[in-house]
Amino acid sequence: MLAAQTVLRRMPVGDAVVEMILDLVRACRPGEAEAGARVNDAVSWGPGPRAAQALMLTVRARALLDGRLAPSAEDVRALARPVLSHRMALSFAARARGESLMGVIDSVAAQVTRIEAAA
């Protein structure tokens, strides 16, 4: 188990994936420059810095379990929900409108990964 943790923490992560993770977490925080109108309107509080650390470890684990040598943008998209959902909260107004936290996370993740892929 300790050997697996060591391998996981030493797995290289490309700069594009690192930037994608950081941009995604920042874009989910209301009031941040990276946050869009939907996040500012619908999210009461967003993920902290540890969310980026958790997402980094989980994308590495997914890549390792899939037999890949490095995580990809698809790993970030796939793991955004489970990593971020309990680190954010919808505003009362957003809940009253019927918005879902998963919908907000999905839209931000899609936007961030699309922007990073185009760069």
CA dihedral 97, 100, 84, 61 (to 10 degrees): -170
Question: CATH second-level architecture of 2-118?
Answer: Orthogonal Bundle (1.10)
Please choose, from the candidates 50, 49, 22, the residue with its C-alpha nearest in 3D space to the C-alpha of residue 115: 22
Kindly report the pTM of this predicted structure: 0.91
Question: How would you class 57 by CB atoms within 10 Å of its CB: exposed for 0-12, middle for 13-18, buried for 19 or more?
Answer: middle
Q: For every one of its 119 residues, what pLDDT tens digit does the chain have, with 9 covering 90 and above?
A: 777 788 888 899 999 999 999 999 999 999 999 999 999 999 999 999 999 999 999 999 999 999 999 999 999 999 999 999 999 999 999 999 999 999 999 999 999 977 666 65
Domain definitions of the chain by residue range: 2-118
